[in-house]
A = this chain, B = another copy of it.
C-alpha cells in the first residue's frame, strides 16, 4: 500500500478545466495571429535566467517578489516580465538582429505576490516591442494602437477605448513650473479630485508649489537657469496651481485637447516635443486604420513613472472600466542600459492574459460553456472496432476533428461523454451499421438521428 499525497495546485497558480483552456488558448492564438499580421517576430526566452542578469535593474518590490534560488553553484531566478529578457536578448544577439527589431513574446512570468482573487503568481504576458538601434521613428508609436485595436476586435470586443498620452507633456509642464521634484506629490493630490473637489485640490497644489519653488531654487539653481526668467513671472505657488488646474480641466475631443494644450503657451522644450509627438501620433493612428471612436487623448494616464519616457497607452473596456487597463505600454528611451552602452529606444505594449481571462470569466463577459476540440465523436456499440477506426480515419482525412469512444460503456454513458465534449455530432456504429455499411449520425443540438452512408454523413457534418 502506497502512502497517498494529497494532490493540490498551489494558490495563485491558474489551472483551467479543459473547456476553459480551449477558450484561453483561442484568445492566445488570436493575439498571436494579430501580432504576426503586423510582422512581429516570435521569441521564446528561457523562464530561468542567471539572477545577476535578470536583476541588473530590479529593486524594491520586484526583488522581493522574485523567485530566486540556487542550483549547484548557480544563482538563478525566474523571469518576472518579458522586457528584461528582451533587453538581454537584443544585447546578446545584437550582431544577428535587424533593427528596428520587432518581436512578440507570449509566455509565463513569475511574481511571488500575496495571492488574491485574480492576481496570479504565474501568469501569461503577451508582449510586443519595437526596438531601435540608436533611434526609432515616432511612426512606430502610431502603429501600436492599430495592433491593440485589431487584437481586441478579433477577440470579439466592440466597445473599448485606447487612451493615449505623452509623458513629456506632464514632465514638461512640471519642469516649466520648476516643480519636477514635486510631480509625484502633485499627481497624488490630483487623484483625490473626485473626493475633495477642485478648489481644495488647487489649494493643496498651491501650498506644495510655494514650498517647491523655494527648495528648487536653492538646490537646482544651475539646472533651472534657463527657466528662471519664465518662472520668475510665476513667483507665487498660486499662479502655478492655476496652470495645473487649467491643464487638468482640459476636455473635449482629440483636436480640442491639442488646441487647449497649445493655448497653455508653456514655453518648455520637453512640453513642446511631447505635444508635437502627440499631434503626429493622433494623426497617424487614424491612417493605420483605427476608427476615431476607439482612441482618445487622456492627459491623466501616466503609467510607470520612470520607465516610460514619451507616448503611453492604456486600454479600457468602456462598460467595465473597473477592470482597469487591459493592454498598456509606451515608449522608452533606453531598453538595455544595464547591459550595454548602446542606446536602444523602444516602444511596446503588453496584455496580461491570465488576469484578463480571469476578469472576463468572473464578470461573465466571456463563457467557456460550449468550447470544443472534437467536432465528432465516433462510438462503437459492438467490440468489432474495425469500422469505427476506419470511419474515424476517413473523417480526419476530411480535416474534421474526431474523438472516439470504444470503451465498454452503455450508450447513455457515451452520449453523456459526447455532451461533455460539446461535440455537435455523434456517429454510432453497431451491428446493423456494420452489416449495411452505413453510419448513424446524431445531431446533438437538434436531438435528431439518421442513418446514412459515410459519404453523406461527411457532407452533412462539413456543411454544418
Contacts and interface: CB of A to CB of B under 8 A. Distances in A.
Interface of A: 2, 4-10, 13-18, 21-22, 24-25, 36-50, 52-53, 56, 67, 69-72, 74, 76, 87-89, 91-93, 96-98, 100, 102-103, 108, 110, 112, 121-122, 132, 135-137, 139-140, 142-143, 146, 150, 284, 287-289, 336-341, 373-374, 377, 385-386, 388-390, 392-393, 396-397, 399-408, 416-417, 420-421
B39 A402 contact: yes
A112 B72 contact: yes
Given A9-B88, A98-B417, A18 B42 contact: yes
B389 A38 contact: no
Contact of A13 (B46, B108, B396): B46
15 contacts: A2-B338, A4-B338, A7-B53, A18-B43, A18-B103, A36-B401, A38-B402, A39-B377, A67-B69, A71-B112, A72-B112, A137-B406, A139-B389, A143-B404, A287-B393
A7 B92 contact: yes
Contacts of A16: 44
A384 to B, nearest CB: 11
Contacts of A10: 46, 48-50, 74, 76
A284 B421 contact: no
Contact of A386 (B287, B393, B417): B287
Given A7-B91, A100-B407, A339-B5, A41 B18 contact: yes
B87 A421 contact: no
A284 B389 contact: yes
Which interface residue of A18, A88, A98, A143 has the most chain B CB atoms within 10 A?
A: A18
Contact of A374 (B5, B39, B93, B405): B39
A42 B25 contact: yes
Contacts of A284: 385-386, 389
Contacts of A339: 4-7
A49, A137, A336, A339 — which one has the most chain B CB atoms within 10 A of its CB? A137
Nearest to A21: B42
Nearest to A28: B44
Contacts of A340: 4, 7
A407 B135 CA distance: 9
Contact of A122 (B46, B140, B288, B406): B46
Contacts of A14: 46
Given A100-B407, A403-B39, A407-B100, A146 B5 contact: no
Contact of A39 (B40, B91, B401): B401
Contacts of A2: 337-338
B338 A5 contact: yes
Contact of A146 (B89, B102, B393): B393
Contacts of A72: 112
Contacts of A18: 41-43, 97, 103
Contacts of A50: 8, 10
Contacts of A416: 98
A43 B24 CA distance: 10
Contacts of A137: 406-408
Contact of A93 (B17, B37, B389): B17
B38 A122 contact: no
Given A39-B401, A137-B407, A404-B143, A288 B46 contact: no
A21 to B, nearest CB: 5
Contacts of A56: 5
A139 B44 contact: no
Nearest to A105: B21
Contacts of A393: 146, 287-289
B37 A401 contact: yes
A6 to B, nearest CB: 7
